[in-house]
Structure 1
Amino acid sequence: MNERSLPATETTDRAATAHASQFALLRQRRFAPFFWTQFLGAMNDNVFKIGFTSLVTYQAARFSGVDPKTVAFLISAIFILPFVLFSATSGQIADKYDKAVLTRWVKTFEIAVMLVGAAGFWMHSAPLLYVCTFLMGVHSTVFGPVKYAYLPQNLAEDELVGGNGLVEMGTFVAILIGTIMGGIAAGIGASDGSGAAPAAAQSAMQSTTPAGAWWLGGMCIAIALIGRVASSFVPPCAPSQPGLRINWNPFSETWRNLRLAHGNRTVFLSLLGISWLWFVGATFLASFFNFAKDVLFADADVVTVLLAMFSLGIGFGSLLCEKLSRRRIEIGLVPLGSIGMSVFGIDLFFASHALPAAPHLLSVGEFLSLPAHWRVLADLFLLAMFGGFYSVPLYALIQSRSEPSHRARIIAANNILNSLFMIVSALMAMGLTAAGVGIPGIFLTTSLLNIVVAAYIYGLVPEFLLRFVAWVLVHTIYRVRLEHAERIPAEGPAVLVCNHVSYVDAVVIMAESPRPIRFVMDHRIFRSPLLGWLFRHARAIPIAPAHEDATLLAKAYDTCAQALAEGDLVCIFPEGKLTKTGDMNPFRHGVTEILKRTPAPVVPMALRGLWGSAFSRHAASGQERPVRRGLTSRLTLAVGEPIAPADVTVDGLQEIVAELRGARR
């Protein structure tokens, strides 16, 4: 987004919050009305779905022809079916029209849908409630591309992580509140928590409408009305492609959207990563009612506790992302998230087998009084927290790397993939249930599959894994201070030049760069099985001295020139080798050779504080190799002003880097 496209007041708001907490966005019109609109929509989805699921799970006698064992998975599948059918069309609509106007249309439609849902509750009609479930899926399908295309159009890039974190947090807080409201309302007037009753009792139950059904219907309508009021304050949001001609054929457009998303490999694989998260999340969330009833021997109110821990976990993880990523798009958090999801998902399986039996369905108080249940709650909270680490950077990456002209259609492609994965998750869970696998077994299967999928994705895109290694290094072993990191270009070609102090120089620079870098590295590194594989896939450029391999040297220069021509960042260490004394070695002429082929700005940088750490050379330093310093080192990455290629000289560049480094080595 360009500041010139913003009204003056919005430009001022953004400038005022450039370094403020992400919560400052909640006080601004460009974000707050949109936030509360999507918040109320998510809450209403869950009041309805949880109320419906709770009634048919714990009061099955009121609904003829409904299997309480599989109904939660069926409701989930019906809700996401519209995402498969209509996401492609919704993406085109979001690109063509004002997103604020579309938001208001969607919220008006929600009111009509909830009138249908209320009738279903009041008549305890499962078919009518299934129709409402499908229509709410249509509502969410249309709003999805609007929601995620609105953010990058109205937030600066350094606000995207915080804004996405707030939306993710808000969504799951809304899920929590909707779950509590839906669960409580469904329980009002319930006379039988077992889901079974004698024939005479069933007949009496079916002939009356409990107070809970009236409450559910009324709440759904009221929330829809409040959401419509909130949407009226969303400011105008110019269409990104007003001249787009809409293809109303959902099948051909779905295929075209998927091909469009496939055009950017990193974006497409990020879409698959998010879709896999929805596979995992849908499996766990849809299992909670039967998990509470059949495994924890608990009543419907305990489902609310489970969903509360899950929602609080993902909300906390989403908010924590901004702090951990320093307001940047930090994809190194994605592998951390997937590791945590698998670890705590597997532990939840074992925790579920260490539970005491109960003579009756436990109330919330009875459930919380048993220590074994706290392990279950901790697993759910931590699994969800790591899910927040996983999802927020991926959403921000997709938004930042998608072309603005068709960003909404990329989001639509994401919704298509999400829905397909969620339908498969529902079918898997129903199939495993039919085969006699219990809910803990479904949790274990999903967690093990998560390991396989994560390994596959990170094998295809080692950038995620490299950023994870870099993030862990600079957040555990080192404490990094940045000086003028904003001088590293956010777009366009540049040659980064830095002193060479340790074996982890490239990793530190990688961790602090706002975008991928192609590092020029000694060819010997590429011979090691692990590092060579990683850096080859990270598109590092091998180089050798002329006396060792003149052909490889010339090829390295040509590859650097080509990378710059394609708009990439290239980083070179002109000393050509690690320092043995802590002092800088003379710079070689590699930089000028690269610039002869493709002129580009040169950004000088200097690392301070790595000399004397566990990753530097000490043989000639006369220093003891202190372990403590290697584990708690403070280091600085200082970035100088960019230099025009015509002004670059080897001696002048070395002088600038030496000045940036200063006396500290």
Structure 2
Amino acid sequence: MSQSRLLAEKRFAPFFWTQFLGAFNDNVFKNALVILFTLTPPSDVSLSRDALVNLASGLLILPFFIFSATAGQLAEKMEKSRLVRWTKLMEIAVMIVAAFALFSGSAILLLALLFMLGLQSAIFGPVKFAILPSVLREDELVGGNGLVEMGTYVAILGGTMLGGVLVAQAGWGVHAVAITIVVVAVAGYVASRGVPQVPSAMPGLRIDPNVLVQTWRVIGYARENRAVWLSVLGNSWFWFVGALFLAQLPGFVEDVLHGSPEVVTLLLIVFSLGVGIGSLLCERLSGRVIELGLVPFGSIGITFFAIDLFLASEWHVAPAVVEGPFAVLADSSNWRILMDLALLGVFGGFYSVPLNAMIQHRSDPTKRSRIIAANNIVNAIFIVGAAGVAIVLLGLGLTIPQLFLAAGVMNALVALYIYTLLPEFLFRFLVWLLMHTMYRLRVKGVEKLPSEGPALLVCNHVAYVDALILAAASSRPIRFVMWWKIFEIPLLKWMFGIARAIPIAGRKEKPELVEKAFAEIDRALAEGELVCIFPEGALTYTGELSPFRPGVERIVASTPVPVFPMALKGLWGSWFSRRGGPAMAKRPRRFRSQIELEVGDAIAPADATAERLQHAVQTLRGDAR
């Protein structure tokens, strides 16, 4: 079923509309304030227009530095739906005061209220993303995050546009803004009343008011899990690149497109729709698992289209007169630039949604809100850093298109660095490419696999790519036990080395490798990992199951863990199977063929005999080969 069904379900829809209306209202108020300062310079401060605009942006993000750590503690300690409602009541109070402040024209009061709105958002941030893993199943997490990402960008765009349009209306614009921000805040509170209860993760947690100590501590929690920390850094890098691009759009429109200020809104629409489309496509492309393979795919797209945006800008010939949005759309010479912006957004969605889902899924549930708070802090640091880098590079004489080129090159270098530190991203990308070129994988029962803790997986062995297919079906890393000669194949050795596969040999081949393999299996299970073995010991020559070897019994006797039988179907006859001769020695006959993986119920270690497991796998497989 499509992820859109979540919008009709009580466990998700109230939360979605609560966060949507909050993001929408923030941007109605912020953009109305910015334009109001531009149209009517305030009399109670002596700052320039540009200084006021930048101060407004800074005050909205400053609370994320100061209060995110405390917000993470609150989200951990309190029942989460209750905290959500408190933040929405806070928003109503801020917006009521803001409505009166708009008429007073006091810049100091309006800026203070903008800071309070940033505080409300900082408190809401950790609880917002900590709720999702509690109300969604694992196979819904990517789809739910995609909807939230899409909704956030649409809300930001819609709020920015509405705030600007309303405040610019002579005579009644300020009244309209005042009414709108209060009405939307009340609507957000009404929506929050339907958010389902999510119990406190740590009701006994003591709130430490020391902001500096807690900020350092929550960042330390995020760093405890290497994969989570690198995902936080990768996610923050997306905010860096996005902030750098979006901040330059007004100058880009003026210098390159020679367009009117309304063209900036057109470019924002194009980019935001791209992010929304990419976010929604993540569920379909990931097969409803947290597919980290989309992250390198997204980073490749971001780099490619950033560079192409530079090239398109360099070759673009600006018109002699200033053009509006419709004239820009009508001129085919602008289409490449618009397409680059849209695809930057699409690939940005591919990049960010799996990272958000991974941070939520792999974080310790008792620290999840604080880890998300750390993510918000690091995001804010990178956003500020983007402004600093842009100022420096533009000050050195770079044009805005050249700044886009620099961002694309920096993105490639950062991506390579992250994938070197955590090769799982690159391994998942290669697996994802295989699944979307050679096969169409349908998975049944994968939700039975534990989301944490050890388990032994056993599966029939049909083709040389069996392990890659199983890896594609699981959002958790799997340690595969495989025959040492397959492990030593040059290209595969590199891939299976990244996946930390465990080579094994026959007892008569390399008895020392056998003992080393079983010791490593015991260690992996003791550390809470998933381990997969193919008990037949070799690829099938007939398409039927060969007798299961007793090694599985030795494993569960040494380390008793639940055992999950699995069956691959549809691979017999593929290029990687032994049907019709040696595997990979014949010409591939078909691409995008349908294959299936079915996962059975767990079998207790005491009952996990070779015969019992073979019968379970045979039952799952049925007549399919």
After TM superposition, the score normalised by the length of structure 1 is 0.85
Alignment partner of 1:297 is 2:258: yes
Aligned-partner Cα distance in 2 for 1:405–1:342 = 37
Question: Which aligned pairs between 1:348-387 and structure 2 lie closer than 5 A?
Answer: 348-387=309-348
The answer to whether the 8 A contact 1:581-1:620 is kept is: no
Aligned-partner Cα distance in 2 for 1:508–1:227 = 43
The residue type equivalent to 1:499 in the other structure is N
Can you list the C-alpha shifts for 1:426-469, whole angstroms capped at 9, x where unaligned? 11112222222222222222222111111122222222222222
Residue 282 of structure 1 and its aligned partner are, at CA, apart by 1.4
Residue 67 of structure 1 and its aligned partner are, at CA, apart by 6.3
Residue 623 of structure 1 and its aligned partner are, at CA, apart by 12
Aligned-partner Cα distance in 1 for 2:424–2:502 = 15
Alignment partner of 1:66 is 2:27: no
The residue type equivalent to 1:334 in the other structure is V
Alignment partner of 1:103 is 2:84: yes
Residue 171 of structure 1 and its aligned partner are, at CA, apart by 0.9
The answer to whether the 8 A contact 2:18-2:189 is kept is: yes
Residue 348 of structure 1 and its aligned partner are, at CA, apart by 1.5
The residue type equivalent to 1:500 in the other structure is H
The residue type equivalent to 2:520 in the other structure is T
Match of 1:459 among 420, 431, 439: 420
Alignment partner of 1:338 is 2:324: no
Residue 619 of structure 1 and its aligned partner are, at CA, apart by 6.6
CA 1:55–1:78: 2 relative to 1, 3 Å: same
Residue 141 of structure 1 and its aligned partner are, at CA, apart by 0.8
Aligned-partner Cα distance in 2 for 1:229–1:293 = 42
Match of 1:552 among 483, 508, 513: 513
Can you list the C-alpha shifts for 1:474-503, whole angstroms capped at 9, x where unaligned? 222112233443444444432222232222
Where 1:404 maps in the other structure, the secondary structure is: coil
Q: Which residue matches 2:597?
A: 637
Match of 1:326 among 287, 301, 318: 287
CA 1:229–1:99: 2 relative to 1, 3 Å: same
The residue type equivalent to 2:138 in the other structure is E
Q: Which residue matches 1:184?
A: 165
The answer to whether the 8 A contact 2:289-2:473 is kept is: no
CA 1:338–1:540: 2 relative to 1, 3 Å: same
Alignment partner of 1:647 is 2:612: no
The residue type equivalent to 1:464 in the other structure is F
Alignment partner of 1:602 is 2:583: no
Gaps of 5+ in 2: none
The answer to whether the 8 A contact 2:42-2:106 is kept is: no
Aligned-partner Cα distance in 2 for 1:288–1:654 = 61
Question: Which aligned pairs between 1:415-454 and structure 2 lie closer than 5 A?
Answer: 415-454=376-415
Alignment partner of 1:274 is 2:206: no
Match of 1:84 among 55, 61, 65: 65
Aligned-partner Cα distance in 1 for 2:178–2:488 = 66
CA 1:453–1:232: 2 relative to 1, 3 Å: same
The answer to whether the 8 A contact 1:312-1:381 is kept is: yes
Residue 350 of structure 1 and its aligned partner are, at CA, apart by 1.5
Q: Which residue matches 1:11?
A: none
The residue type equivalent to 1:556 in the other structure is A
Alignment partner of 1:627 is 2:597: no
Aligned-partner Cα distance in 2 for 1:615–1:660 = 22
Residue 580 of structure 1 and its aligned partner are, at CA, apart by 4.7
Match of 1:144 among 122, 125, 128: 125
Aligned-partner Cα distance in 2 for 1:156–1:582 = 35
CA 1:140–1:484: 2 relative to 1, 3 Å: closer
CA 1:215–1:345: 2 relative to 1, 3 Å: farther
Aligned-partner Cα distance in 2 for 1:88–1:213 = 35
Alignment partner of 1:157 is 2:117: no
CA 1:483–1:233: 2 relative to 1, 3 Å: closer
Aligned-partner Cα distance in 2 for 1:294–1:64 = 29
CA 1:57–1:524: 2 relative to 1, 3 Å: farther
Q: Which residue matches 2:116?
A: 135
Residue 530 of structure 1 and its aligned partner are, at CA, apart by 5.4
Q: Which residue matches 1:9?
A: none
CA 1:292–1:128: 2 relative to 1, 3 Å: farther
Where 2:207 maps in the other structure, the secondary structure is: coil
Question: Which aligned pairs between 1:205-604 and structure 2 lie closer than 5 A?
Answer: 212=173, 215-524=176-485, 527=488, 531-580=492-541, 582-604=543-565
CA 1:301–1:87: 2 relative to 1, 3 Å: same
Q: Which residue matches 1:170?
A: 151
How many residue pairs align between the two structures?
Answer: 624
The answer to whether the 8 A contact 1:317-1:386 is kept is: yes
The residue type equivalent to 2:48 in the other structure is V
The answer to whether the 8 A contact 1:183-1:304 is kept is: no
Can you list the C-alpha shifts for 1:598-644, whole angstroms capped at 9, x where unaligned? 13333333323323322234673799935332x13222323344333
The residue type equivalent to 1:93 in the other structure is L
CA 1:407–1:45: 2 relative to 1, 3 Å: same
CA 1:645–1:53: 2 relative to 1, 3 Å: same
The answer to whether the 8 A contact 1:73-1:426 is kept is: no
The answer to whether the 8 A contact 2:436-2:592 is kept is: no
Where 2:536 maps in the other structure, the secondary structure is: coil
Where 2:480 maps in the other structure, the secondary structure is: strand
The answer to whether the 8 A contact 2:102-2:174 is kept is: yes
Can you list the C-alpha shifts for 1:523-558, whole angstroms capped at 9, x where unaligned? 345556654344334222122233332222101001
Aligned-partner Cα distance in 1 for 2:248–2:125 = 24
Aligned-partner Cα distance in 2 for 1:489–1:65 = 58
The residue type equivalent to 2:218 in the other structure is N
Q: Which residue matches 1:17?
A: none
Q: Which residue matches 1:12?
A: none
Q: Which residue matches 1:10?
A: none
The answer to whether the 8 A contact 2:575-2:589 is kept is: no
The answer to whether the 8 A contact 1:166-1:319 is kept is: yes
Alignment partner of 1:614 is 2:583: no
After TM superposition, the score normalised by the length of structure 2 is 0.91
CA 1:232–1:506: 2 relative to 1, 3 Å: closer
The answer to whether the 8 A contact 1:107-1:224 is kept is: yes
The residue type equivalent to 1:637 in the other structure is L
The answer to whether the 8 A contact 1:91-1:408 is kept is: yes
Where 1:481 maps in the other structure, the secondary structure is: strand
The answer to whether the 8 A contact 1:76-1:286 is kept is: no
Residue 418 of structure 1 and its aligned partner are, at CA, apart by 0.7
Residue 351 of structure 1 and its aligned partner are, at CA, apart by 1.8
The answer to whether the 8 A contact 1:179-1:307 is kept is: no
Aligned-partner Cα distance in 1 for 2:459–2:447 = 16
Q: Which residue matches 1:45?
A: 26
Aligned-partner Cα distance in 1 for 2:444–2:129 = 33
Residue 569 of structure 1 and its aligned partner are, at CA, apart by 1.6
The answer to whether the 8 A contact 2:94-2:117 is kept is: yes
CA 1:530–1:138: 2 relative to 1, 3 Å: farther
CA 1:610–1:25: 2 relative to 1, 3 Å: closer
Can you list the C-alpha shifts for 1:270-289, whole angstroms capped at 9, x where unaligned? 11121111111111222222
CA 1:501–1:155: 2 relative to 1, 3 Å: closer
Aligned-partner Cα distance in 2 for 1:400–1:487 = 16
Gaps of 5+ in 1: 1-19, 190-209
Residue 516 of structure 1 and its aligned partner are, at CA, apart by 1.7
The answer to whether the 8 A contact 1:612-1:625 is kept is: no
CA 1:224–1:628: 2 relative to 1, 3 Å: same
Pairwise CA RMSD of aligned residues? Answer: 3.0
Where 1:479 maps in the other structure, the secondary structure is: strand
Aligned-partner Cα distance in 2 for 1:340–1:56 = 38
Residue 117 of structure 1 and its aligned partner are, at CA, apart by 5.3
Residue 383 of structure 1 and its aligned partner are, at CA, apart by 1.2
The residue type equivalent to 2:268 in the other structure is L
Percent sequence identity is 53
